[in-house]
Structure 1
Amino acid sequence: MRFSSPEGEQRYDALVRVAARTVVGLDFDGTLSPIVDDPTQAHIHPEAGDVLVALAEQVAAIAVVTGRPARQALDLGGLEEVGDALQAAGKELFVFGQYGNERWSSTRRRILGARPPRGLATFERDLPRTLRNAGAADAWIEDKGLAVAVHTRRLPDPEEAFDRLLPPMTELARRHGLVLEPGRSVIEVRSAGSHKGLVVQRLAAVVDAEGFAFAGDDLGDVEAFEAVEELGRQGIAPLRVCSASAEQSALMDISDVVVRGPDGVLDFLRRLTADAAAFGASR
């Protein structure tokens, strides 16, 4: 764990002082779970559940905010069991799937979701032709129900295929009234009007937060980082944590803390837990 600047360290210290009224938001892939070739096998870090339960004793709430369907995140993360433990401790776990279009919490215990966006069905109809024309017919198409993701990780040259696909998929999404979200060897297309930044804003209001930390690894987390920064201008203690990797460095320049992958994220959460507990004991 390293601070990006002296200000980053000051922000961390300020967050520790208001930990009891802080929300900790976490991306899933690349943050709580490793990036793998088959996203359906991207299980949460084996130590993450225990770390989250310990953290919950020191903070107001924990939220997993992901582009995945909420059900996938719950299953791959064992998050329903984590939610049980948090609820028993009088705390709450939130899971926001598909960039906030799906919502689950440890108190409600069911997934609330939106309808598939207009234009998605026709986009899916036209997508195979676009892939063939771009020489990427073998790319894996993942239907998320409210979005479609095209993965290039399994192709012979994932980065080159990604770069080749990005322009035609951007145009196809535009024609169908959808937005495109590039990620690590994946291009996702979904409806406009929902992103992780909105989730951050809503959570801060619902919890009446005095602090908000968010950890992410990819371009889909930029809006969350921007929302956290805006909360800082409103007097809420902000902290942005980048789960860095060799594949993606987009968040490093706008982060307060930089760690290395899911292992680094868990080390950060352990330190936050210990420092918050020590601060609380000293009062």
Structure 2
Amino acid sequence: MLPDVEAYASWLLKHPSALNSFDCIMKEAKGKKVVVFLDYDGTLSPIVEDPDKAFMSTEMRAALREVAKQFPTSIISGRSRDKVKEFVQLNNVCYAGSHGLDIMQPPKSRDKKGNEGAFQPAKLFLPAIQEISMELEHKIRETQGSKIEDNMFCISVHYRQVPPQDQGNLKEKVKSVVENRPEFRLTEGKMVIEVRPSIEWNKGDALNYLLHTFGFSNADDVLSLYIGDDQTDEDAFKVIAGKREGFPIVVSSIPKETKA
């Protein structure tokens, strides 16, 4: 057995496969209201070189459609809400973009004309975010392989295609843009560095907000499932683990520290 295979096997003992534990999950779900939360990239779609081509498969879309018919289902992504909706193409799913800073109201919360509302706790930051986006475009335009993605309430700088020797310099350029802006902070994901408003709001807060809008915040017969693969999903895992009524499920082919 190779060392990395041994490490993964050991990790699986602490974090058993959800598929292998499916009977246990079904047993816990019996008689309860199941609510499903999902990340997008790396969970519903593969991680790809070009973030604009992170398409979900037809089979995954069909499976998600069926899940959403049975249970309230939400996708909480770091992408912009519109971008995730464009990828998923389903109307029976609730979308939360920008790591939960832009949350679509569930159908029952829409106005009399059926218009979608949105919860946006960082709305006042939009003008500054647009300024930062333009400054970043200028700063890193000569960095080969870099890509800026405007996710409305956060800006993602992808460096998956940046040569390894240039990645450190790219990160320093991004840091220089926000170093004198205490109202913003940097976070890192899989080959991406992000500029986000410095407010106390994350995917865990988004999960709690959605449970509230679904009318489940004070219910004792709710079982939440959250499936994600990235560091930003850990805040949601922590919320579910704290409630002790649900299953945080991490998608990973390597050992990693996780609350799931």
Instruction: Give TM-score scaled by structure 1 length.
Output: 0.69
Describe the shift of the 1:182–1:58 C-alpha distance in structure 2 as closer, same or farther (beyond 3 A).
Answer: same
What amino acid is aligned across from residue 173 of structure 1 in structure 2?
V
Unmatched 5+ residue regions in structure 1?
84-92, 257-283
Identity fraction in percent? 23
Q: Comparing both chains, which one has the higher relative contact order based on Cα–Cα distances under 8 Å and sequence gaps of 6 or more?
A: 1
Q: In structure 2, what is the equivalent of residue 65 of structure 1?
A: 76
Q: Give the superposition deviation at 1:7.
A: 8.2
Residue 152 of structure 1 pairs with residue 164 of structure 2: no
Q: Give the superposition deviation at 1:214.
A: 0.8
Q: In structure 2, what is the equivalent of residue 278 of structure 1?
A: none
Distance 2:74 2:119 in 1: 17
Q: In structure 2, what is the equivalent of residue 197 of structure 1?
A: 204
130, 142, 162: which one aligns with 2:149: 142
Counting only pairs closer than 5 Å after superposition, residues 212-227 of structure 1 correspond to structure 2 as: 212-227=224-239
Distance 2:26 2:243 in 1: 13
Distance 2:179 2:236 in 1: 23
Q: In structure 1, what is the equivalent of residue 94 of structure 2?
A: 94
Compare the two structures and name the one with the higher helix fraction. Answer: 1
Q: Give the superposition deviation at 1:122.
A: 4.0
**Residues 102-160 of structure 1 deviation map (CA, whole Å, 9 limit, x = unaligned):** 2225614625253361642443354356547xx83652122223221111122233xx5
Q: Please state whether the residue corresponding to 2:86 is helix, strand or coil.
A: helix
Q: Is the 8 A contact 1:116 1:146 kept in 2?
A: no
Q: Give the superposition deviation at 1:253.
A: 3.2
Residue 180 of structure 1 pairs with residue 186 of structure 2: yes
Distance 2:168 2:232 in 1: 17
Root-mean-square deviation over aligned CA pairs: 3.1
Distance 1:136 1:75 in 2: 28
How many residues align? The count is: 231
115, 121, 136: which one aligns with 1:127: 136
Describe the shift of the 1:191–1:15 C-alpha distance in structure 2 as closer, same or farther (beyond 3 A).
Answer: farther
Counting only pairs closer than 5 Å after superposition, residues 99-110 of structure 1 correspond to structure 2 as: 99-105=99-105, 107=107, 108=110, 110=116
Unmatched 5+ residue regions in structure 2?
1-8
